[in-house]
Amino acid sequence: ALIVQKYGGTSVGSVERIQTVAERVQAAVQAGNSVVVVVSAMGKTTDSLVKLASEISSQPSRREMDMLLSTGEQVSIALLTMALQERGQAAVSMTGAQVGIVTEARHSHARILRIETERVKRHLEQGQVVVVAGFQGISDAPDLEITTLGRGGSDTSAVALAASLQADACEICTDVPGILTTDPRLVPSAQLMTDITCDEMLELASLGAKVLHPRAVEIARNYGVTLVVRSSWTEDPGTKVTAPNRLPRPLEGLELAHPVDAIEFDTNQAKVALLRVPDRPGIAAQLFGTVAQQNLNVDLIIQSINEGNFNDIAFTVEKDVLEDAKNLASSLIPSLRGTSEDGDTVALVTDTQIAKVSIAGAGMIGRPGVAAKMFSTLAAAEVNIQMIATSEVKVSCTIAAEDCDRTIAALCNAFDLNQSP
Ligand code: ASP
Ligand code: MG
């Protein structure tokens, strides 16, 4: 099988660790695999380089930052390759440019356009392990600028290589045993997940799970890469991040094709709004605490800032629990009322004629303006936005249900997506 293994900074953080990684890579070869290894810079090297730059200049140019930061990975590929050769394992190190990772000409946050894999394949055929510098690429000729993919970009390099080489698996080898249900430093009882879908992973990543970069997950999802997150030091199977079965996409414009990967809509939501709620600490906690106790799943929440001491708070729930949510909200009204001087103000309204429309895609990370483009598209279509919620990989708006179809059409058009049947 052809395997891409990625080792993060901690896993190659010292000479001993590099030797252990070499041993593992060699074991994978001896088990009959062709292996491409992608590595990060040793330990906190990248941070140290950033600090060094900040001591020289308060506004270093992005180009020179890329020139500087790309050196970190060049150290670890050379050392790991030496360690492999020392063990009698044929291996060759390659920079992003040498391995054919062609990116946009955009310093510090470049996206991968394509990978020219002929050279890697040749080395693999000769029985060599190819050790690749993660996090970096090169812009198209004639400029051939050294670029970096954004912090944490080695995951992206690894998965993109796996996609281009049609590797059988991409293993992200790291200092945790896999994807855990929550942060084990905060919750000692955190459980290891054996399987998780790419979509679930994207939502986790946007909430701050630091194990796997969302751009890498998105490439895995789009190109059907089999992704495994596992410990660098044990044989445990780790967590399999499964991609849906998809028609293979052309690899041209690998990461780029669209900052927005999908347009989703949901017409099964209803809105509950509490109007003129006194503005004081604890109101949201009281409301949503009670809602959660009743096991009502709230999706979008908006709180408007009103003049005076009142807020409007609205949230959405699935239509079939609207009655429950409504009863619950109205039962809270007496306790939400302000002091007698405020008067008897709180009012409850609901609306079932709404739709939630979302644009989704890890491609929007590091691309300012995607949300703005969604809003201006809706404005041009004269669609009124009621509520907005954003995560790193999604922007959702609620709108009037009757506007749903033309909103989707306008968004597909604006983001260059074919409307799915
Ligand atoms: N060395 C780079 C960084 O620290 C890339 C990576 O670790 O994935 O951001
Ligand atoms: Mg890292």
Task: Indicate the Cα dihedral angle 91, 92, 96, 100, nearest 10°.
Answer: -100
Q: Write out the two tokens for 25.
A: 């890579």
Interatomic CA distance for residues 206 and 392, integer angstroms: 5
Give pLDDT, residue 276.
Answer: 85
Question: Is the pLDDT confidence value at 419 over 70?
Answer: no
Ligand 1 lined by 40 (C-beta under 6 Å)? yes
Ligand 1 lined by 223 (C-beta under 6 Å)? no
User: Which band of pLDDT confidence, cut at 50, 70 and 90, is reported for residue 342?
Assistant: low
Q: Nearest-CA neighbor of 174 among 131, 93, 216, 234?
A: 234
Q: Of all atoms in ligand 1, which is nearest to the CA of residue 47?
A: 4
Average pLDDT score over the chain: 88
Q: Quick: pLDDT tens for 49-64.
A: 999 999 999 999 999 9
Buried b (16+ CB within 10 A) or exposed e, 92-119: bbbbbbbbbbbbbebbbbbbbbbbebee
Ligand 1 lined by 151 (C-beta under 6 Å)? yes
Pocket mutation for ligand 1, best pick of 154, 215, 217 (most atoms within 8 Å of C-beta) = 154
Ligand 1 lined by 7 (C-beta under 6 Å)? no
Q: Write out the two tokens for 58.
A: 């308060």
- Identity of the residue numbered 183: D
Ligand 1 center–CA 119 separation, angstroms: 24
Ligand 1 lined by 154 (C-beta under 6 Å)? yes
Distance between start and end Cα atoms, the chain = 36
Ligand 1 center–CA 41 separation, angstroms: 6
Give pLDDT, residue 119.
Answer: 97
User: Which band of pLDDT confidence, cut at 50, 70 and 90, is reported for residue 317?
Assistant: very high
Contact status, residue 337 vs residue 346, Cβ threshold 8 Å: yes
Which whole number is the average pLDDT over 31-53? 98
Beta strand 91-94 with 34-39: parallel, antiparallel or unpaired? unpaired
Contact status, residue 33 vs residue 13, Cβ threshold 8 Å: no
Give pLDDT, residue 31.
Answer: 97
Least confident range of 108-122, 161-175, 280-294: 280-294
Interatomic CA distance for residues 57 and 173, integer angstroms: 35
Contact status, residue 270 vs residue 354, Cβ threshold 8 Å: yes
**Total number of residues shown for the chain:** 421
Question: Is the pLDDT confidence value at 91 over 90?
Answer: yes
Q: How far is CA 279 from CA 56, 129, 163, 274, in A?
A: 48, 63, 52, 12
Least confident range of 332-341, 394-403, 409-418: 332-341
Question: Is the pLDDT confidence value at 208 over 50?
Answer: no
Ligand 1, atom 8: closest residue by C-alpha:
152
Ligand 1 center–CA 55 separation, angstroms: 20
The share of the chain scoring above pLDDT 70, in percent, equals 90
Ligand 1 lined by 135 (C-beta under 6 Å)? yes
Q: Nearest-CA neighbor of 357 among 315, 394, 302?
A: 394
Contact status, residue 78 vs residue 39, Cβ threshold 8 Å: no
Give pLDDT, residue 285.
Answer: 86
Ligand 1 lined by 69 (C-beta under 6 Å)? no
Which whole number is the average pLDDT over 371-381? 93
Give pLDDT, residue 366.
Answer: 65
The share of the chain scoring above pLDDT 90, in percent, equals 57
Interatomic CA distance for residues 221 and 160, integer angstroms: 11
Ligand 1, atom 6: closest residue by C-alpha:
152
Interatomic CA distance for residues 395 and 86, integer angstroms: 51
Ligand 1 lined by 152 (C-beta under 6 Å)? yes
Ligand 1 lined by 96 (C-beta under 6 Å)? no
Name the CA radius of gyration of the chain, rounded: 25
User: Which band of pLDDT confidence, cut at 50, 70 and 90, is reported for residue 420?
Assistant: very low
Q: Of all atoms in ligand 1, which is nearest to the CA of residue 213?
A: 8
Q: Quick: pLDDT tens for 106-150.
A: 999 999 999 999 999 999 999 999 999 999 999 999 999 999 999
Q: Which of 33-42, 174-183, 237-246 is predicted most confidently?
A: 33-42
Ligand nearest to the CA of 76: 1
Q: Of all atoms in ligand 1, which is nearest to the CA of residue 152?
A: 8
pTM assigned to the model: 0.71
Neighbours of ion ligand 2 (CB under 5 A): 8-9, 40
Ligand 1 lined by 100 (C-beta under 6 Å)? no
Ligand 1 lined by 156 (C-beta under 6 Å)? no
ipTM: 0.94
Give pLDDT, residue 421.
Answer: 35
More confident residue, 62 or 189: 62
Cross-sheet strand order for the sheet of 112-115: 112-115, 101-103, 136-139, 146-148
Question: Is the pLDDT confidence value at 247 over 60?
Answer: no
Give pLDDT, residue 297.
Answer: 82
The dihedral sign for the CA sequence 205, 210, 211, 217: positive
Give pLDDT, residue 106.
Answer: 92
Give pLDDT, residue 132.
Answer: 98
